[in-house]
Amino acid sequence: MATTYSISDLAREFDLTTRAIRFYEDMGLLRPERSGPGGRNRVYSHRDRTRLKLTLRAKRLGLSLNEAKDLIDMYDSPRDTGPQLQKFLQVLDAHKRELEAQMGEIQANLDEVKAHEKEARSLLAKQGDKPIKKPTQKTVKIAKGHV
């Protein structure tokens, strides 16, 4: 007999809420069998467990659930894996470009903050005031009460 999982089993294993798993089911990412009176109990297969694992991996990569579903559904088909891998590379490339653009924006913001910081320290020095020391990790932890 094939291994099956309850919704609680998967929630525990992947550190998710049962609500999140039901949401993934509503999105069509998981298709559990139903058992019990009125089909109230969900019975997840090894395939569902694998799809959940792939969904979470795609989510960590920053893909939308629809992108994850499209990619995962491609692997369910018996077709040649070439087109599947091509699609996966396209999605990854688009996502990589998006992340690189965000990284550029963050770097520009950091450069601007550093310029303002330098200017403020210079103005303080001209006034004869001592600039505030840059906080160390220890002073940040003390200030936050994490000592």
The mean per-residue pLDDT over the stretch 13-39 comes to 94
**pLDDT for residue 1 is more than 70:** no
pTM: 0.64
**pLDDT > 70: what percent of the chain?**
84
Q: Report the pLDDT value the prediction gives residue 127, as an integer from 0 to 100.
A: 86
Confidence category of residue 47, pLDDT binned at 50, 70, 90:
very high
Tell me which residue has tokens 């903050």. 113
pLDDT computed for residue 79 by the predictor? 64
> What is the predicted pLDDT for the residue at 30?
95
Q: Quick check: helix, strand or coil at residue 120? A: helix
pLDDT tens profile 53-98:
999 999 988 888 998 998 888 877 666 678 778 888 888 898 899 9
DSSP per-residue letters across 45-99 = -HHHHHHHHHHHHHHHTT--HHHHHHHHHHHHS-S-HHHHHHHHHHHHHHHHHHH
> What letter does residue 130 receive in the DSSP assignment?
P
The gap between the terminal CA atoms of the chain, to the nearest Å, is 54
